Protein backbone atom coordinates (compact mmCIF):
# COMPACT_ATOMS: atom_id res chain seq x y z
CA UNK A 1 0.00 0.00 0.00
CA UNK A 2 2.79 2.42 0.88
CA UNK A 3 5.77 1.02 -1.07
CA UNK A 4 5.24 3.59 -3.83
CA UNK A 5 6.76 6.20 -1.49
CA UNK A 6 10.21 4.73 -2.19
CA UNK A 7 9.65 4.52 -5.94
CA UNK A 8 11.07 7.57 -7.71
CA UNK A 9 10.43 6.67 -11.33
CA UNK A 10 7.02 6.90 -13.00
CA UNK A 11 7.35 3.38 -14.43
CA UNK A 12 8.11 2.02 -10.94
CA UNK A 13 4.94 3.53 -9.50
CA UNK A 14 2.84 2.35 -12.42
CA UNK A 15 4.10 -1.25 -12.32
CA UNK A 16 4.71 -1.51 -8.53
CA UNK A 17 8.19 -2.87 -9.29
CA UNK A 18 11.55 -1.32 -8.42
CA UNK A 19 13.85 -1.04 -11.43
CA UNK A 20 16.58 1.28 -10.14
CA UNK A 21 18.34 2.00 -6.85
CA UNK A 22 16.85 4.42 -4.30
CA UNK A 23 18.72 5.72 -1.26
CA UNK A 24 17.04 6.88 1.96
CA UNK A 25 18.53 7.85 5.32
CA UNK A 26 17.18 7.66 8.86
CA UNK A 27 18.51 7.70 12.41
CA UNK A 28 18.22 4.65 14.63
CA UNK A 29 19.08 4.71 18.35
CA UNK A 30 22.67 3.67 17.49
CA UNK A 31 23.35 4.36 13.82
CA UNK A 32 22.75 6.63 10.88
CA UNK A 33 21.27 4.11 8.46
CA UNK A 34 21.27 4.40 4.67
CA UNK A 35 18.64 2.20 3.03
CA UNK A 36 19.59 1.13 -0.50
CA UNK A 37 16.30 0.01 -2.03
CA UNK A 38 17.37 -2.44 -4.75
CA UNK A 39 15.16 -4.15 -7.35
CA UNK A 40 14.41 -7.81 -6.78
CA UNK A 41 13.32 -8.86 -10.27
CA UNK A 42 15.79 -10.88 -12.34
CA UNK A 43 15.37 -8.45 -15.26
CA UNK A 44 17.16 -5.80 -13.18
CA UNK A 45 19.78 -8.05 -11.62
CA UNK A 46 22.67 -5.70 -12.50
CA UNK A 47 21.07 -2.84 -10.54
CA UNK A 48 20.40 -5.21 -7.66
CA UNK A 49 24.05 -6.34 -7.55
CA UNK A 50 25.17 -2.69 -7.62
CA UNK A 51 23.03 -2.05 -4.53
CA UNK A 52 24.18 -5.14 -2.63
CA UNK A 53 27.83 -4.39 -3.34
CA UNK A 54 27.52 -1.08 -1.44
CA UNK A 55 25.93 -2.50 1.73
CA UNK A 56 27.09 -3.65 5.17
CA UNK A 57 23.91 -5.66 5.81
CA UNK A 58 21.32 -7.22 3.49
CA UNK A 59 17.61 -7.28 4.36
CA UNK A 60 15.92 -10.00 2.30
CA UNK A 61 12.15 -9.51 2.28
CA UNK A 62 9.83 -12.37 1.36
CA UNK A 63 6.07 -12.68 1.52
CA UNK A 64 4.35 -15.01 3.98
CA UNK A 65 1.63 -15.72 1.42
CA UNK A 66 2.16 -19.09 -0.26
CA UNK A 67 1.25 -17.76 -3.70
CA UNK A 68 3.95 -15.05 -3.39
CA UNK A 69 6.59 -17.02 -1.49
CA UNK A 70 9.77 -17.55 -3.54
CA UNK A 71 12.38 -19.26 -1.38
CA UNK A 72 14.65 -19.95 -4.36
CA UNK A 73 14.78 -16.22 -5.14
CA UNK A 74 15.71 -15.34 -1.55
CA UNK A 75 18.34 -18.09 -1.62
CA UNK A 76 19.76 -16.65 -4.83
CA UNK A 77 20.03 -13.19 -3.30
CA UNK A 78 21.63 -14.64 -0.16
CA UNK A 79 24.22 -16.19 -2.49
CA UNK A 80 24.79 -12.77 -4.08
CA UNK A 81 25.18 -11.14 -0.68
CA UNK A 82 27.73 -13.72 0.48
CA UNK A 83 29.77 -13.45 -2.71
CA UNK A 84 29.77 -9.66 -2.48
CA UNK A 85 31.00 -9.78 1.11
CA UNK A 86 27.87 -8.98 3.10
CA UNK A 87 28.45 -10.60 6.48
CA UNK A 88 25.10 -9.76 8.10
CA UNK A 89 21.68 -10.88 6.87
CA UNK A 90 18.19 -10.02 8.07
CA UNK A 91 15.43 -12.24 6.67
CA UNK A 92 12.06 -10.52 6.87
CA UNK A 93 8.84 -12.48 6.40
CA UNK A 94 6.39 -9.73 5.47
CA UNK A 95 2.57 -9.87 5.33
CA UNK A 96 2.47 -12.17 8.35
CA UNK A 97 -0.98 -10.70 8.99
CA UNK A 98 -2.31 -12.28 5.76
CA UNK A 99 -1.76 -15.79 7.17
CA UNK A 100 -3.22 -14.96 10.59
CA UNK A 101 0.23 -14.70 12.21
CA UNK A 102 0.89 -18.41 11.62
CA UNK A 103 3.97 -19.48 13.62
CA UNK A 104 4.42 -22.75 11.71
CA UNK A 105 4.61 -20.96 8.36
CA UNK A 106 7.28 -18.63 9.72
CA UNK A 107 9.27 -21.51 11.25
CA UNK A 108 9.15 -23.50 8.00
CA UNK A 109 10.55 -20.54 6.07
CA UNK A 110 13.23 -19.85 8.69
CA UNK A 111 14.40 -23.47 8.78
CA UNK A 112 14.62 -23.68 4.98
CA UNK A 113 16.65 -20.48 4.73
CA UNK A 114 18.90 -21.38 7.68
CA UNK A 115 19.82 -24.63 5.96
CA UNK A 116 20.65 -22.87 2.71
CA UNK A 117 22.72 -19.99 4.10
CA UNK A 118 24.72 -22.33 6.33
CA UNK A 119 25.65 -24.34 3.22
CA UNK A 120 26.70 -21.16 1.44
CA UNK A 121 29.03 -20.32 4.32
CA UNK A 122 27.18 -17.86 6.53
CA UNK A 123 27.57 -17.82 10.28
CA UNK A 124 23.99 -18.23 11.51
CA UNK A 125 24.81 -15.97 14.46
CA UNK A 126 24.88 -13.14 11.89
CA UNK A 127 21.45 -13.93 10.41
CA UNK A 128 18.15 -12.83 11.98
CA UNK A 129 14.66 -14.00 10.97
CA UNK A 130 11.80 -11.61 11.74
CA UNK A 131 8.04 -11.92 11.07
CA UNK A 132 6.55 -8.52 10.27
CA UNK A 133 3.53 -6.78 8.85
CA UNK A 134 4.64 -3.71 6.96
CA UNK A 135 1.04 -2.55 6.77
CA UNK A 136 0.26 -2.88 10.49
CA UNK A 137 3.76 -2.26 11.85
CA UNK A 138 4.10 -5.62 13.65
CA UNK A 139 7.67 -6.22 14.93
CA UNK A 140 9.15 -3.27 13.06
CA UNK A 141 9.66 -0.76 15.87
CA UNK A 142 8.05 -2.69 18.73
CA UNK A 143 7.33 -6.35 19.39
CA UNK A 144 3.79 -7.18 18.42
CA UNK A 145 1.26 -8.76 20.82
CA UNK A 146 -0.09 -10.59 17.74
CA UNK A 147 3.07 -12.75 17.61
CA UNK A 148 3.56 -13.81 21.26
CA UNK A 149 5.51 -16.84 20.00
CA UNK A 150 8.25 -14.61 18.52
CA UNK A 151 10.95 -13.70 21.08
CA UNK A 152 13.59 -12.18 18.81
CA UNK A 153 14.50 -8.55 18.06
CA UNK A 154 12.39 -6.08 16.12
CA UNK A 155 13.59 -5.01 12.69
CA UNK A 156 14.95 -1.75 14.12
CA UNK A 157 16.73 -3.56 16.96
CA UNK A 158 18.22 -5.99 14.48
CA UNK A 159 19.63 -3.14 12.40
CA UNK A 160 21.20 -1.66 15.51
CA UNK A 161 23.10 -4.90 16.20
CA UNK A 162 24.96 -4.63 12.88
CA UNK A 163 28.45 -3.28 13.59
CA UNK A 164 29.65 -0.46 11.35
CA UNK A 165 32.05 -1.71 8.70
CA UNK A 166 35.74 -1.13 9.29
CA UNK A 167 36.99 0.16 5.96
CA UNK A 168 40.79 0.46 5.65
CA UNK A 169 41.73 4.09 5.11
CA UNK A 170 45.46 3.34 5.06
CA UNK A 171 45.23 1.42 1.78
CA UNK A 172 45.40 3.02 -1.69
CA UNK A 173 42.22 4.72 -2.83
CA UNK A 174 39.58 2.58 -4.52
CA UNK A 175 36.29 4.29 -5.41
CA UNK A 176 33.55 2.27 -7.10
CA UNK A 177 31.38 4.29 -9.51
CA UNK A 178 27.65 3.57 -9.43
CA UNK A 179 26.35 6.59 -11.34
CA UNK A 180 27.66 9.32 -13.64
CA UNK A 181 26.00 12.69 -14.28
CA UNK A 182 27.00 15.46 -16.68
CA UNK A 183 26.42 18.86 -15.06
CA UNK A 184 26.18 21.62 -17.66
CA UNK A 185 28.85 24.27 -17.17
CA UNK A 186 30.59 22.40 -14.35
CA UNK A 187 31.82 18.99 -15.44
CA UNK A 188 31.12 15.36 -14.66
CA UNK A 189 29.85 14.25 -11.25
CA UNK A 190 30.51 10.62 -10.32
CA UNK A 191 28.62 8.95 -7.47
CA UNK A 192 29.61 5.86 -5.53
CA UNK A 193 31.40 4.49 -2.50
CA UNK A 194 34.98 4.71 -1.31
CA UNK A 195 35.99 1.10 -0.63
CA UNK A 196 39.50 1.85 0.65
CA UNK A 197 41.73 4.86 1.20
CA UNK A 198 41.05 8.58 1.27
CA UNK A 199 39.95 11.04 -1.44
CA UNK A 200 40.80 14.74 -1.19
CA UNK A 201 40.07 17.78 -3.31
CA UNK A 202 42.89 18.63 -5.76
CA UNK A 203 43.92 14.95 -5.83
CA UNK A 204 44.95 13.54 -9.20
CA UNK A 205 42.86 10.45 -9.87
CA UNK A 206 42.93 7.65 -12.43
CA UNK A 207 39.84 5.94 -13.84
CA UNK A 208 40.23 2.23 -14.60
CA UNK A 209 40.11 0.39 -16.88
CA UNK A 210 40.31 3.36 -19.30
CA UNK A 211 43.41 4.87 -17.64
CA UNK A 212 42.15 8.45 -18.07
CA UNK A 213 43.32 10.91 -15.39
CA UNK A 214 41.85 14.09 -13.94
CA UNK A 215 41.78 16.23 -10.81
CA UNK A 216 39.14 16.13 -8.06
CA UNK A 217 37.55 19.58 -8.04
CA UNK A 218 34.80 19.07 -5.45
CA UNK A 219 33.54 16.35 -3.09
CA UNK A 220 29.99 16.18 -1.74
CA UNK A 221 28.23 13.92 0.72
CA UNK A 222 24.46 13.82 1.21
CA UNK A 223 24.24 17.34 2.59
CA UNK A 224 27.54 19.21 2.39
CA UNK A 225 30.55 20.02 0.26
CA UNK A 226 33.61 18.52 1.95
CA UNK A 227 37.37 18.52 1.33
CA UNK A 228 38.08 14.91 2.27
CA UNK A 229 36.24 11.56 2.29
CA UNK A 230 37.42 8.22 3.59
CA UNK A 231 36.75 4.51 3.16
CA UNK A 232 33.11 3.62 3.78
CA UNK A 233 31.74 7.02 2.70
CA UNK A 234 29.16 7.30 -0.08
CA UNK A 235 29.97 10.49 -1.94
CA UNK A 236 30.00 12.23 -5.29
CA UNK A 237 32.96 14.10 -6.74
CA UNK A 238 33.39 16.51 -9.63
CA UNK A 239 35.93 16.35 -12.46
CA UNK A 240 36.11 18.15 -15.78
CA UNK A 241 38.02 18.11 -19.06
CA UNK A 242 37.23 14.42 -19.52
CA UNK A 243 35.06 13.03 -22.31
CA UNK A 244 31.99 11.44 -20.76
CA UNK A 245 32.67 8.34 -22.87
CA UNK A 246 35.84 7.70 -20.82
CA UNK A 247 33.88 7.29 -17.55
CA UNK A 248 31.30 4.59 -16.92
CA UNK A 249 29.35 2.97 -14.15
CA UNK A 250 31.47 0.12 -12.71
CA UNK A 251 34.75 1.99 -13.29
CA UNK A 252 37.21 2.08 -10.39
CA UNK A 253 38.92 5.32 -9.36
CA UNK A 254 42.26 5.54 -7.55
CA UNK A 255 44.99 7.99 -6.55
CA UNK A 256 47.20 8.52 -9.61
CA UNK A 257 50.25 8.84 -7.35
CA UNK A 258 49.61 5.84 -5.08
CA UNK A 259 49.07 2.42 -6.71
CA UNK A 260 46.31 3.47 -9.11
CA UNK A 261 43.95 0.74 -10.37
CA UNK A 262 44.80 -0.95 -13.67
CA UNK A 263 42.97 -3.20 -16.11
CA UNK A 264 43.58 -6.91 -15.66
CA UNK A 265 45.53 -8.96 -18.20
CA UNK A 266 44.52 -12.26 -16.54
CA UNK A 267 43.65 -13.50 -13.06
CA UNK A 268 43.50 -16.70 -11.02
CA UNK A 269 40.27 -17.49 -9.18
CA UNK A 270 39.14 -20.05 -6.62
CA UNK A 271 35.66 -20.94 -7.86
CA UNK A 272 32.76 -23.01 -6.56
CA UNK A 273 30.26 -24.34 -9.10
CA UNK A 274 26.84 -24.33 -7.48
CA UNK A 275 24.60 -25.16 -10.41
CA UNK A 276 25.72 -25.51 -14.01
CA UNK A 277 24.18 -28.05 -16.42
CA UNK A 278 27.35 -28.99 -18.34
CA UNK A 279 30.94 -29.88 -17.62
CA UNK A 280 33.32 -26.93 -17.96
CA UNK A 281 36.82 -26.89 -19.42
CA UNK A 282 39.44 -24.67 -21.03
CA UNK A 283 37.80 -22.32 -23.52
CA UNK A 284 34.61 -21.89 -21.47
CA UNK A 285 33.39 -18.34 -22.21
CA UNK A 286 31.00 -16.50 -19.92
CA UNK A 287 29.87 -13.15 -18.52
CA UNK A 288 31.79 -12.40 -15.33
CA UNK A 289 30.43 -10.06 -12.66
CA UNK A 290 32.76 -8.39 -10.15
CA UNK A 291 31.48 -5.73 -7.77
CA UNK A 292 29.15 -3.88 -10.18
CA UNK A 293 31.29 -4.48 -13.28
CA UNK A 294 30.58 -7.03 -15.98
CA UNK A 295 32.79 -8.36 -18.79
CA UNK A 296 33.04 -11.44 -21.00
CA UNK A 297 35.86 -13.75 -19.90
CA UNK A 298 37.32 -17.13 -20.83
CA UNK A 299 38.95 -20.00 -18.94
CA UNK A 300 42.50 -20.49 -20.24
CA UNK A 301 43.77 -23.01 -17.67
CA UNK A 302 42.34 -25.35 -15.02
CA UNK A 303 45.06 -25.44 -12.39
CA UNK A 304 43.75 -27.45 -9.43
CA UNK A 305 40.65 -29.26 -8.27
CA UNK A 306 39.78 -28.52 -4.63
CA UNK A 307 37.77 -30.46 -2.04
CA UNK A 308 35.03 -27.89 -1.24
CA UNK A 309 34.65 -29.23 2.31
CA UNK A 310 38.33 -29.23 3.35
CA UNK A 311 39.98 -26.84 0.91
CA UNK A 312 42.63 -29.46 0.10
CA UNK A 313 43.97 -30.01 -3.43
CA UNK A 314 42.62 -33.29 -4.82
CA UNK A 315 43.79 -33.03 -8.43
CA UNK A 316 46.13 -31.14 -10.74
CA UNK A 317 45.16 -29.76 -14.16
CA UNK A 318 41.73 -31.42 -14.40
CA UNK A 319 40.31 -31.64 -17.91
CA UNK A 320 36.76 -30.81 -16.80
CA UNK A 321 34.89 -29.55 -13.73
CA UNK A 322 31.16 -29.71 -12.97
CA UNK A 323 28.43 -28.75 -10.50
CA UNK A 324 29.51 -29.31 -6.91
CA UNK A 325 33.21 -28.93 -7.74
CA UNK A 326 35.63 -26.32 -6.48
CA UNK A 327 38.72 -25.44 -8.48
CA UNK A 328 41.44 -22.88 -9.06
CA UNK A 329 41.26 -21.60 -12.63
CA UNK A 330 43.03 -18.99 -14.70
CA UNK A 331 40.85 -16.72 -16.80
CA UNK A 332 41.37 -13.86 -19.21
CA UNK A 333 38.97 -10.93 -19.78
CA UNK A 334 37.83 -10.38 -23.36
CA UNK A 335 36.88 -6.77 -22.61
CA UNK A 336 38.73 -4.43 -20.20
CA UNK A 337 37.80 -4.88 -16.54
CA UNK A 338 39.35 -3.81 -13.24
CA UNK A 339 39.61 -6.51 -10.56
CA UNK A 340 41.79 -6.94 -7.46
CA UNK A 341 43.06 -9.69 -5.19
CA UNK A 342 40.38 -10.65 -2.67
CA UNK A 343 42.72 -10.62 0.35
CA UNK A 344 43.66 -6.98 -0.35
CA UNK A 345 40.44 -5.51 -1.75
CA UNK A 346 37.55 -7.85 -0.83
CA UNK A 347 34.84 -5.87 -2.63
CA UNK A 348 36.82 -5.97 -5.88
CA UNK A 349 37.98 -9.57 -5.50
CA UNK A 350 34.70 -11.53 -5.50
CA UNK A 351 33.19 -12.80 -8.72
CA UNK A 352 30.05 -14.60 -9.81
CA UNK A 353 29.03 -16.11 -13.12
CA UNK A 354 25.29 -16.32 -13.83
CA UNK A 355 23.58 -18.96 -15.94
CA UNK A 356 20.24 -17.65 -17.10
CA UNK A 357 18.31 -16.50 -14.04
CA UNK A 358 20.41 -18.43 -11.51
CA UNK A 359 23.90 -17.88 -10.14
CA UNK A 360 26.00 -20.78 -11.34
CA UNK A 361 29.53 -20.04 -10.17
CA UNK A 362 31.02 -18.00 -7.33
CA UNK A 363 34.64 -17.29 -6.56
CA UNK A 364 37.38 -15.16 -5.04
CA UNK A 365 40.37 -13.80 -6.92
CA UNK A 366 43.72 -15.17 -5.70
CA UNK A 367 46.10 -13.28 -8.00
CA UNK A 368 46.00 -10.75 -10.84
CA UNK A 369 48.39 -9.94 -13.68
CA UNK A 370 47.84 -6.30 -14.58
CA UNK A 371 48.34 -4.62 -17.92
CA UNK A 372 51.44 -2.50 -17.54
CA UNK A 373 51.10 0.62 -19.61
CA UNK A 374 51.30 4.33 -19.06
CA UNK A 375 47.99 5.89 -18.02
CA UNK A 376 46.24 8.11 -20.52
CA UNK A 377 46.92 11.79 -20.27
CA UNK A 378 44.09 14.09 -19.35
CA UNK A 379 41.81 15.44 -22.06
CA UNK A 380 43.22 18.98 -21.70
CA UNK A 381 46.81 17.71 -21.98
CA UNK A 382 45.94 15.81 -25.15
CA UNK A 383 44.45 18.99 -26.66
CA UNK A 384 47.52 21.06 -25.73
CA UNK A 385 49.86 18.52 -27.34
CA UNK A 386 47.74 18.39 -30.50
CA UNK A 387 47.76 22.16 -31.03
CA UNK A 388 51.40 22.65 -29.98
CA UNK A 389 52.51 20.33 -32.80
CA UNK A 390 50.83 22.45 -35.48
Which of 217, 235, 255 is where one domain is finished?
Answer: 255
Same-domain pairing of 157 and 172: no
CA distance 183 to 185: 6
Rg value, the chain, Cα: 23
Q: Is residue 111 part of a domain?
A: yes
Same-domain pairing of 181 and 73: no
Strand partners, 306: 313, 326
pLDDT tens for the chain, 390 residues: list them: 555 555 555 555 555 555 456 777 888 898 888 887 766 555 545 555 556 666 788 888 888 876 665 556 677 777 767 766 678 899 999 999 999 999 999 999 899 888 888 877 788 888 899 999 998 999 999 999 999 999 999 999 999 998 877 768 999 999 999 899 999 889 999 999 999 999 999 999 999 999 999 999 999 998 899 999 999 899 999 998 888 888 988 899 999 999 999 999 999 998 888 778 889 999 999 999 888 889 999 999 999 998 765 678 999 999 999 987 889 999 999 999 999 998 889 889 988 888 775 667 888 899 999 998 654 555 566 556 666 665
Q: What is the DSSP letter of 194?
A: E
Same-domain pairing of 215 and 150: no
Domain with 345, as residue range(s), is 264-370
Q: Is residue 380 part of a domain?
A: no
Same-domain pairing of 125 and 192: no
CATH number, domain containing residue 222: 2.40.30.10
CA distance 383 to 390: 11
Four-residue CA torsion sign, 41, 80, 273, 338:
positive
Q: Taking the CB of residue 325, how many other CB atoms lie within 10 A of it?
A: 21
Same-domain pairing of 155 and 196: no
Q: How many residues does the chain have?
A: 390
Which of 161, 187, 211 is where one domain is finished?
Answer: 161
Please list the alpha-helical segments (H only) found in the chain.
Answer: 10-15, 45-53, 71-83, 103-120, 155-160, 379-388
Which of 161, 190, 222 is where one domain is finished?
Answer: 161
The pLDDT, as a whole number, for residue 54 is 65
CA distance 32 to 26: 6
CATH number, domain containing residue 15: 3.40.50.300
pTM given for the model: 0.63
DSSP string, 55-91: -SEEEEEEESSTTT--HHHHHHHHHHHHHTT--EEEE
Number of domains in the chain: 3
The pLDDT, as a whole number, for residue 343 is 83
Phi-psi region of 114 (alpha: psi -120 to 50; beta: other; left: phi over 0): alpha
Q: Is residue 271 part of a domain?
A: yes
Instruction: Decide: 118 and 129 in contact? Cβ < 8 Å.
Output: no
Same-domain pairing of 231 and 345: no
Q: Which of 268, 267, 271, 266 is nearest to 362 (CA)?
A: 271
Strand pairing category for 225-226 and 228-230:
unpaired
Amino acid sequence: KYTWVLEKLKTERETSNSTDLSLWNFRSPRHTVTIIDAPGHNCFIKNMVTGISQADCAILIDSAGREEFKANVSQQYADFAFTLGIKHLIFVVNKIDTINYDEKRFRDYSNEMRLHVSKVGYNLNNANFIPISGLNGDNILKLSPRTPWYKGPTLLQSLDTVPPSTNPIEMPLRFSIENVMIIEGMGIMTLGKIETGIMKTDMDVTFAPSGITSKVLMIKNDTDTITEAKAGDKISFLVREIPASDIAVSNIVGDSNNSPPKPALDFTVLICILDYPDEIGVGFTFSLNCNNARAPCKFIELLEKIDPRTGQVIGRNPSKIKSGDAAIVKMVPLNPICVEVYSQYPYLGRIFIPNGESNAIFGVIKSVTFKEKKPKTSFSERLRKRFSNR
